Amino acid sequence: MKRRASMLREMGLAPVWRLRDAPGATEDSPPAEAPASVAVAAGVAPVVAAPAPAVLPARTAVLPTASPLVAPACVVTEGMDWDALEAAIGACRACPLHERRTMAVPGVGDRAADWLFVGEGPGAEEDLRGEPFVGQAGKLLDAMLAAIGLARGRNAYIANAVKCRPPGNRTPEAAEIAACQPYLERQIALIQPRIIVALGRPAAQTLLGGEVKINAARGRLFDRAGIPVVVTYHPAYLLRSPQDKAKAWEDLCFARAALASR
């Protein structure tokens, strides 16, 4: 429990979820009369326990259908196994992003995971190491995973919408995302996740095939070819806007409850 409470503190949640008006309350010990949503966030409830209904946003019944990704004709991934797919990503020249990359960044994690987390694209450290979500954003993502009983390589796979670093860590352009879509499509087909979490707007728009606003999309289950998709904030955004970390925790609880109900 102490380790999980530490992960929640890393997410910036422990002070947010503590009942401030309860006598004797501390950051690590919520009062006994705290509601289930507070207890879960503070690390009191077991990881496997479903969050209380109060944690879930009100729009749980909305199930819009996402458009499938459309693969450009220049990249064909059908029939590739993992080795062939990662080799193809490493040798890809389908868009100008390959010109400045140090390494392509296919993804990392459990290849038979229930959970697939999709971000935007590699940053500088990811480009050097060939692994997504390293550095401070990666540390926060690891804390988010640990808070719901997951880890890199343990029932979670982490990928990005684009596999090469955009210059200056800018947002990937539409043509760059389109060039990488066949790779993400094949990863989804190989993993067959039970739920996908879109981390940030570019990832959400890539997966859902249209304009997405994070605040409007939160708390909704999107259906993508039979796989539920939950939209939340990118960890890099949360580092800049820590006041929204509690919302990200709420989104993870929503996703966990959605998966438990399947």
Q: Is residue 59 scored above 60 in pLDDT?
A: no
Band of pLDDT at residue 76, cut at 50, 70 and 90: confident
Q: Quick check: is 164 in a domain?
A: yes
Q: Which residues are CB-neighbours of 14 under 8 A, at least 6 positions away?
A: 5, 8, 27, 28, 41, 42
The Cα 127–Cα 48 span in angstroms is 35
Whole-model pTM: value is 0.77
131, part of any domain? yes
The model's pLDDT over 158-211, given as tens digits with 9 standing for 90+, comes to 999 999 999 998 999 999 999 999 999 999 999 999 999 999 999 999 999 989
Distance (Å, rounded) from C-alpha 17 to C-alpha 231? 21
pLDDT above 60: residue 113: yes
Within a domain: residue 122?
Answer: yes
Tokens 């289930």, located at residue: 36
Per-residue confidence at 262, pLDDT binned at 50, 70, 90? confident
CA count, 13 A, side-chain hemisphere, 168: 3
Instruction: Say if 48 falls within a structural domain.
Output: no
Query: Does residue 24 lie in a domain region?
Result: no
Residue-number span of the structural domain to which 147 is assigned:
82-260
In-domain check, residue 217 = yes
Domain count for the chain: 1
Contact yes or no for 149/113 (Cβ under 8 A): no
Q: Domain with 131 in it: what CATH number?
A: 3.40.470.10
- 12 part of a folded domain: no
